[in-house]
Structure 1
Amino acid sequence: MRSIYGTNARKAGPLLAMALLACGALAGCGDDPAREDISAAVAVPAISTTPAPPLPRISSGAPTAPKVEEPPVGSIPQVSSSERIPMPLDPYIISMKDLRTIDIAQDVGAALCMKSLGFTEWTAGTVRTWDPENDKEYDFLEYIDPVSAAQSGYPRTQPDPKLPSPKTPADDRRRPTGEEMAAFNGSASQTSTGRAIPEGGCAKEGARGIRDEAIELPVDARALAVNSRISARQDSRVKAALAAWRSCVEKSGLRYPDPVVLRLNPEWASRKADTPAGAEEKRVAGADATCQREVNLVGVYKTVRVAYEERLVTAELEKLTAARPILEAWVKNAEAVIAGAG
């Protein structure tokens, strides 16, 4: 899940984002405080299959959030399915399809700006400010079926094929000139032919065609969702479930502080979805998934996260309600930009 602001941070990719146990307004997905993807790298230890010394102190990379009172929760259901669990903030979050539409429209608008400055070879794909690999919804912890994990390794999430695609393929990009980049990013005030470059360059001009700078978004629901993930990850009930998970996986010779770190071991973290998992990944994934299910780790985490989101919705309901039509207007503007350039 990512924020509606900026694009640069998404280039770091979803695998690392998951490892951080936090994204975005969480440091964003990077270039904007409301973005949710990456804030720091995480050290991944090698797998131990033999008796090991005491568990090392390994940072999961999770940002530190202010201590808050933990919300009460009712009964915690046993999660045994990968079916998505609805969250209280869902009604206020626009879809990945809409976010992709905004992304494409910003590049289209920037290209129109560049052409108006005389850079006729510039297309919406010359510099793409977003990466389709980051347009995936994910959480720190999702249910993994033990049988499937043992047979196929860790699941690989593919981008939604229904998401809109730009007309200019990524592999059609050419290397822009220095003058073009100065006009694109706004580091120059005019072109060599004397044409005035808009403030912030054509990259920002592309965004202006979608978002009215005079209208400030009251709150970013995706950023609040990130906050709920951070708070849930630091909750004592989730920490207790993680401790139980660690005790369980140690029986298989695995000494890791967190399932996300284990899942992102470099031996298999970069494996493509169409590449079969190796024997060791299958063994580790099977043990990991079995222990997660045994201690109901996902059930505890999701239940606690729901409680934090309910609190956020109550506190920010007026702003969330006001933000939704603004976001919908951005999407309509983006659709118009794309249609007009067609």
Structure 2
Amino acid sequence: MIDEPVLGDIPKISDSGKIPMPLDPYMSSMRDLKTIDVAQEAAAADCMRALGYTGWTANMLRTWDEESYKEFDFFEYIDPEEAARSGYPKPPADSTLKMTDGEKAPKKSPTSREVEAFEGIRTGTTTDRAVPQGGCLGEGQRKVRDEALPVDARSLAVDSRRSAMQDSRVKAALDSWRSCMQKNGLQHQDPVILRLNPLWVSRKAGTPADDRERHTAAVDARCQQEVNIVGVYKTVRAAYETRLVDANKSKLIQKNAIFEGWVRNAESILAGR
């Protein structure tokens, strides 16, 4: 059985404003995470060319894409009136995190030997140069991440989300949501799965939602508002996050300093390219 934390007042959430969470001061920004990923690829490409693979480019084997930099939580407020007009929200992507033309996949595919050197499967090359441990992928990562984090705030945030979803207060709110949906003629067991239905997830921003999506989203939003799912979930999740912060406070402070060093390393690698 989960040792459920005691909760204070649960606020009624009625707008999409950001709700502060205990781990926020320790969370790495998506912009910094992309800078690190791009720098690791650049350093790995330098490694590959040094091994004699002169045609290798930084985007030859992508280890990330634009979806990697989207923030996610199980529940965010959905405005019922807006949902009735436009369906499920599709917030615009951060233009600073979109792939540039130079970051998109090249037309040329890597050879099997190149992949082996990149991933460290092969220990030597045709020119008898030694492949570094973990391949050039590992070498690129070491150039940026020169010191291990004692704890990862984003991993702790995932833990808090999982704990919240198992909490009896959140489960009770979900039961109430199901009852509300049923009263409105819709049979759905999980609002997260409902929101991620491929029928509307695949809809591009700017493309109008169809009648089915608009109706479903409106009922979903009204039921979530009626039972205050976001308020309950965020309050419960914050309580679990507080526990995690208290248990890892010194490591989180140390983590911030190390991560800042990673960002400096990444910026140095990318400078002048």
Q: Which category of TM-score, normalised to the shorter sequence, fits these structures?
A: over 0.9
Counterpart in 1 of 2:61?
127
Give 1:85-96 correspondences, 5 Å limit: 85-96=19-30
Unaligned 5+ runs, structure 1: 1-66
C-alpha displacement at 1:165, in angstroms?
Answer: 4.8
- Deviations along 1:117-146, whole A, 9 cap, x unmatched? 111111111111101122111200000000
Query: Which of 60, 68, 78 does residue 2 from structure 2 map onto?
Result: 68
Does the CA contact (< 8 Å) of 1:209 and 1:333 recur in 2? yes
User: How far apart, in 2, do the equivalents of 1:120 and 1:71 lie?
Assistant: 57
Instruction: Map 1:94-133 onto structure 2 (within 5 A).
Output: 94-133=28-67
The one-letter code matched in structure 1 to 2:185 is: G
Amino acid at match of 2:138: K
Query: How far apart are residue 164 of structure 1 and its match?
Result: 7.2
Does the 8 Å CA contact 1:149/1:155 hold for their aligned counterparts?
Answer: yes
**2:112 pairs with 1:178:** yes
Deviates more, 1:290-299 or 1:173-182: 173-182
C-alpha offsets along residues 204-252 of structure 1, whole Å, 9 cap, x if unaligned?
111010112xx33111111111111111111111111111100001122
Q: 2:124 aligns with which of 186, 190, 200?
A: 190
The farther-off stretch of 164-173 and 135-144 is 164-173
Deviation per CA, 1:95-125, whole angstroms, max 9, x where unpaired? 0000000010011011100111111111111
Greater share of residues in helix: 2
Report how far residue 266 of structure 1 moved: 2.7
Counterparts of 1:324 and 1:169, CA distance in 2: 28
State the partner residue of 1:31. Answer: none
Distance 1:267 1:247 in 2: 24
Residue 206, structure 1, aligned to residue 134, structure 2: no
Structure 1 residue aligned with 2:90: 156
**Local SS of the residue matching 2:201:** coil
Partner of 2:223: 291
**Distance of 1:279 and 1:164 partners within structure 2:** 30
Counterparts of 1:111 and 1:317 in 2: how far apart (Å)? 37
Between the aligned partners of 1:186 and 1:167, the Cα distance in structure 2 is 28
Structure 2 residues without counterparts, runs of 5 or longer = none
Q: Describe the SS at the equivalent of 2:56.
A: coil
Q: Secondary structure at the match of 2:154?
A: helix
Contact 1:210/1:330 (8 A) holds in 2: yes
Whole-angstrom CA distance in 2 between matches of 1:335 and 1:109: 12
Match of 2:16 in 1: 82
- Report the TM-score, using the length of structure 1 for normalisation: 0.77
Q: Is the 8 A contact 1:221 1:320 kept in 2?
A: yes
Q: Deviations over 1:153-199 (max 9, x none)?
A: 11124431123755623143421111111111111011112111111
1:139 aligned partner:
73
Contact 2:177/2:224, CA 8 A, preserved across alignment? yes
Q: For 1:1-342, what aligned pairs fall within 5 Å after superposition?
A: 67-163=1-97, 165=99, 168-212=102-146, 215-339=147-271, 342=273
> Runs of at least 4 residues of structure 1 off by over 6 A?
none
Structure 1 range deviating more: 265-274 or 131-140: 265-274
Distance 2:108 2:8 in 1: 56
CA contact (8 A) 2:66 2:99 kept: no
Q: Output the CA distance in 2 between the equivalents of 1:216 and 1:338.
A: 21
TM-score normalized by structure 2?
0.96
Structure 1: distance between partners of 2:106 and 2:214: 37
- Residue 168 of structure 1 aligns to a residue whose secondary structure is helix
For residues 322 and 87 of structure 1, what CA distance do their matches in structure 2 show? 19
Question: Contact 2:22 / 2:242 at 8 angstroms: preserved in 1?
Answer: yes
Letter in 1 for 2:2: V
> What is the RMSD computed on CA atoms of the aligned residues?
1.4
The answer to whether the 8 Å contact 2:66/2:98 transfers is no
Cα offset for 1:267? 2.1
- Choose 281-290 or 169-178, whichever is displaced more: 169-178
Contact 1:232 / 1:305 at 8 angstroms: preserved in 2? yes
- Counting matched residue pairs gives 273
Q: Is the Cα–Cα contact under 8 Å of residues 126 and 173 in structure 1 kept in the other structure?
A: no
The percentage of counterpart residues that share the same residue type is 57
